[in-house]
Amino acid sequence: MSENRNVVDLYKEGKNFMRNDLILSLNKMDYITMKLFEFVLSKVDPENPPATRIVDIKKIDFYNLIGGTIYNRKQELEAYIEKMQVDGLFKVYTKIDNDTQVESIMPITYAKWTYQNTIISFKFSEDIMPYIAEFTENFTSYDMKDIQALETKYGIIMYRIFKLYHNQFVNYKKKGTKRKEQLYAYQNPTISISDLRFYTNNEKTYTRINSFLKRVIDSAVEDINENTNFQVSYTKNKKGKMVDSLTFNILTKNVAPASPEDNPDFEEKNKLKNLKDAEIYTYAMGHKYTRKLLETKLLTTENIIDQSKMIKLAVEVFPYYEEIEKLKGEEKLSQHLRHVKNKKAPLSQQEIANGKAEGIVEYLRIAASRYVPTIRIQNAKRNNLQLQKDTIFELLDKSLENQAITPRLYEAAKQDVEDISGNDEDDQAKIDAIEALMNSLNLKKIDEVEDDGADI
Where does a domain end: 132, 149, 166?
149
* Tally of domains within the chain: 2
Where does a domain end: 103, 124, 149?
149
Is 442 a member of any domain? yes
Regarding predicted confidence, which is higher, 97 or 55? 55
Is 345 a member of any domain? no
Which of 6-20, 332-346, 417-431 has the highest average model confidence (pLDDT)? 332-346
Is 25 a member of any domain? yes
Q: Mapped to the 3 state alphabet, what secondary structure does the chain carry?
A: CCCCCCHHHHHHCCEEEEEHHHHCCEECCCHHHHHHHHHHHCCCCCCCCCCCCEEEEEHHHHHHHHCCCCCCHHHHHHHHHHHHHHHCCEEEEEEECCEEEEEEECCEEEEECCCCCCEEEEEECCCCHHHHCCCCCCEEEEEHHHHHHCCCHHHHHHHHHHHHHHHHHHHHHHHCCCCHHHHHHHHCCEEEHHHHHHHCCCCCCCCCHHHHHHHHHHHHHHHHHHHCCEEEEEEEEEECCEEEEEEEEEEECCCCCCCHHHCHHHHHHHCCCCCCHHHHHHHHHCCHHHHHHHHCCCCCHHHHCCHHHHHHHHHHCHHHHHHHHHHHCHHHHHHHHHHHHHHCCCCCHHHHHCCHHHHHHHHHHHHHHHHHHHHHHHHHHHHHHHHHHHHHHHHHHHHHHCCCCCHHHHHHHHHHHHCCCCCCCCHHHHHHHHHHHHHHCCHHHHHHHHHCCCCC
pLDDT in tens, 389-421: 776 777 778 778 877 778 888 888 888 777 776
Q: What is the mean pLDDT of the chain?
A: 78
Residue 209 is predicted with a pLDDT of: 92
Is 14 a member of any domain? yes
CA-CA-CA-CA torsion for 160, 162, 165, 171, nearest 10 degrees? -80
Is 282 a member of any domain? no
Is 390 a member of any domain? yes
pLDDT tier at 256, thresholds 50, 70, 90: very low
Please name the residues in contact with 304: beta carbons below 8 A apart, sequence gap of 6 or more.
285, 290, 294, 310
Residue 328 is predicted with a pLDDT of: 84
Where does a domain end: 83, 114, 149?
149
Q: What are the angstrom distances between the C-alpha of 441 and each of 295, 435, 436, 453? A: 57, 10, 9, 21
pLDDT tier at 16, thresholds 50, 70, 90: confident
CATH of the domain at 127: 1.10.10.10
Residue ranges making up the domain that contains 48: 1-149
Residue 414 is predicted with a pLDDT of: 82
Is 268 a member of any domain? no
Please name the residues in contact with 350: beta carbons below 8 A apart, sequence gap of 6 or more.
none
Is 22 a member of any domain? yes
Residue 274 is predicted with a pLDDT of: 72
Residue 340 is predicted with a pLDDT of: 86
**How crowded is residue 240: how many other Cβ atoms within 10 Å of its Cβ?**
6
Which of 3-17, 211-225, 416-430, 432-446 has the highest average model confidence (pLDDT)? 211-225
Give backbone dihedrals phi and psi of 122, rounded to 5 degrees, phi first.
-120, 140
Residue 440 is predicted with a pLDDT of: 54
Kind of pairing between the strands at 119-124 and 190-192:
unpaired
Residue 439 is predicted with a pLDDT of: 54
Report the amino acid identity of residue 30. D
Is pLDDT above 80 for 55?
Answer: yes
pLDDT in tens, 327-365: 888 998 999 998 888 876 554 455 444 544 457 888 888
